[in-house]
Every structure is written in structure tokens, then in C-alpha cells.
Amino acid sequence: MSSDITGWMPGQEASPDIERFRGLFWEAFASLRARSVRYDELRGDLELASDWLAGPLSSIYESGACDYVFEDSARFPGISNAEKFLEWCLEAVGDFRKIVSSVTPATSEEQADHRRYVQIAVKMEELSRIAYELVKRREGSRQS
């Protein structure tokens, strides 16, 4: 019987980190449907930025690990450890934020969209930092 990224074994309670991660996941990767026309025009770009990050984080959500990221240097060049993984995640969140910031909200609908997308980015960053801790813990357990 093998443990997951958190050291959790089947039959045990899940770790608080993975529980927090799973609780935030759907908040961060909610529908990106916009209320305003201006932000709706950015939806495709926002979804691309979001989906890129969602892949590895979805894997952690489902199985507690995203080992494929470290094994696929073609799709994830330079990601060789937890620190590089965090850098990559935060870069993806930064790309999402840049897209959100490319519009200066002028109407109440645009302001609401802007606030919502900023909050989604905050949650993506928090997920990335929790994922980093989980990946780092897994690295440590492999080296022991």
C-alpha cells in the first residue's frame, strides 16, 4: 500500500493541507463566465491561463500528486523540484492577473467581474502555495 503526496495512507484521515487544497480548488477554477461584454471578450484568454494551471493542480486534487509535471520536460521545461514548480505556478497566476488587469473597469458590471477575477487569482495563488508545500513534502519523503 503506498501513500499519496501528503504521506496519507488509504484508510487514514486526509491531511489538513490536502483538505484545504480541495476546499479551495473549485473556488479557484470556477466558471469564468463574465457579466460584462468587455471581460467576456477576455474569457478565452482567461480560460487558457486558468487551464494551464488547472492541469497539475487538478491532478493534486484527484490523487494528491502531480508527478507527471516533473517527468514531462517537453510540456513543463525546467520544473525539476518544488521550488521550480512554485515559480511556474506563480508565473501562470501572474499571466492570469495580467489579462484581468488589461481592462480598466468602467461600469458596475465590469467592476464586479474585475473583483471576481482578482479573487480567483488570489485563490489560484493560495492553491499554488499549498501545492508547493505538498510537493515539497513528497520530495522530502522520497529522499528519506
Number of domains in the chain: 1
Pairwise CA distance, residues 62 & 78, whole Å: 24
Its pTM stands at 0.86
Residue 11 lies in a domain: no
Report which of 132, 61, 60 is spatially closest to residue 90, judged by C-alpha positions. Answer: 132
Pairwise CA distance, residues 36 & 109, whole Å: 5
The parent domain of residue 139 ranges over 16-143
**CATH number, residue 21:** 1.20.120
If DSSP codes are grouped into helix, strand and coil, which group holds residue 77?
coil
Pairwise CA distance, residues 20 & 86, whole Å: 17
CA angle (130 as vertex; 2, 60 as ends), nearest 5: 45
111 grid coordinates = 467592476
What are the mean pLDDT values of the chain's consecutive 10-residue runs (144 residues total)?
42 68 92 94 95 94 92 93 97 97 97 97 96 88 60
Residue 98 lies in a domain: yes
